[in-house]
Amino acid sequence: MFGTVVVGIGIAGSVRLRDMLNPMPSSPSEHLKLVGFVSRRTLGSINEVKQIGLQDALGNKEIQAAIISTDNKSHEENVRMFLEAGKHVLVEYPMALSASTARELWELAEQKGKILHVEHIELLTEEYKQLKKEVTGKELVKGTLHFTGGALDEERSGFPAFSGIARLTWLIDLFGDLTVTSATREEQKEESYSRMTAHFQTANKKPLTWIEERGPGMRRDKKISFCFKSGCLENLPEAPRSAVGLFMQDQNLFAKKLFGQVSREELAAEKWRILRCLDLAEEIRQHCERPAEIHS
C-alpha cells in the first residue's frame, strides 16, 4: 500500500478525494491508501478523512505519495516540497508555469528516484481517443484548434499557453513535434477578455494554428478544422462517455507507475511530450510579450 495525501480541495481535489475513497475494484488504485488531505481552508474532515497540516504531511513516514490539486501557481512549490521530502507526486497540469522550472522538478524527481506524474486527462476522453483514430494515418494539409472558455485569473492560473496546455498536448500527440512560427495576444483587461493565437509548423512544414480565447460568459468549447489530403474534419467526433471517470483513469496510471507496470519507453515518450509542450508554451509566451515592431 502507498499512503497518499491529497493537497488542495477545489473541484479537482474533491474528485481526487472521492476517487481515492472509492477505487475501482481490482485496479492499481486499490493499493493507494488515503491518509489525509491538506487544504488552506479549515475543513476538519471530509467523509471521515482527516485534514492534516502541510508540514505533518511532508514529515509523515506513512505517506509515500502526494496528489497536488492546488492553483497552478502553487504547483511548483508543492511538487518541489514533496519530492524533497522523498514522496512520489501526481500533479495536475501544468506542472509548472515555466519550462525551466519543469525541467528542474523532473531532474529532482529522478535524483530522488521518485515518480513524477503529470495528469493528462485531456488525452483520456473518449472524444479525443476517437479523434485520434480519425486523424491517424492521414496527411495533414493545415489545421486549427480553437478553444473558448470563461475568464481566467492569470495570477493564479498562469499565462494562457501554460493554463491551456491541454490543447497544445492534443496537437503534439496528434501531429508530432511542432515549431512555433509566430504568436500574438489580444487583451482587454477591463473586460477580462483574452485571445492568444499561436502558429506552428509540423515536421513536414504544414501549418497549424492554436487559438485560446477566454472571456466572461464564453461557453467552454473546442472547435477544430483539420484538413488532410483526403478531406477535412470540421467537427469533433461524437463518443459515449467512458464508464470510468477521467481522474480515476489517471489515478490508475499513477498507481501503475508506482508498481513499475509502465514500460521505460512509455515513460520516456511521456516525459518528452510533457517537457516539449512546456518548451513550446514558453516560446509562445516570449513571442506574445515581445514589443510590436514600429515601422517608420
Angle 132-244-32 from CA coordinates, rounded to 5°: 115
- At residue 294, the pLDDT reads 44
Q: What are phi and psi of 60, to 5 degrees?
A: -75, 115
Q: What is the predicted pLDDT for the residue at 296?
A: 39
Bridge partner list, 254: none
Strands (E), the chain: 2-7, 32-38, 45-46, 49-50, 65-68, 88-91, 116-118, 140-149, 178-188, 193-202, 207-214, 221-228, 231-233
pLDDT averaged over 10-residue windows placed end to end, the chain, 296 residues: 96 94 93 95 88 97 97 97 98 96 98 97 95 96 98 94 97 98 95 97 98 96 97 93 93 97 97 98 95 52
Q: For the segment 139-162, what is each residue's pLDDT rounded down to a tens digit?
A: 999 999 999 999 999 999 999 999
Q: What is the pLDDT of residues 88-128, one digit of tens each?
A: 999 999 999 999 999 999 999 999 999 999 998 999 999 99
Q: What is the pLDDT of residue 292?
A: 60
Q: Which domains does the chain have, with CATH numbers?
A: 2-119+244-262 (3.40.50.720), 126-238+279-289 (3.30.360.10)
Kindly state the cell numbers that stand for 6: 491529497
User: For residue 8, what pLDDT is reported?
Assistant: 96
129, 142, 256, 290 from 197: Cα distances, Å: 25, 15, 37, 14
Q: Which residues contact 108 (CB under 8 A, 6 or more apart)?
A: 80, 83, 84
Q: In terms of residues, how long is the chain?
A: 296
Distance between CA atoms of 236 and 223, rounded to whole angstroms?
7
> What's the pLDDT at 171?
98
Mean pLDDT score of the chain: 95
pLDDT value, residue 293: 52
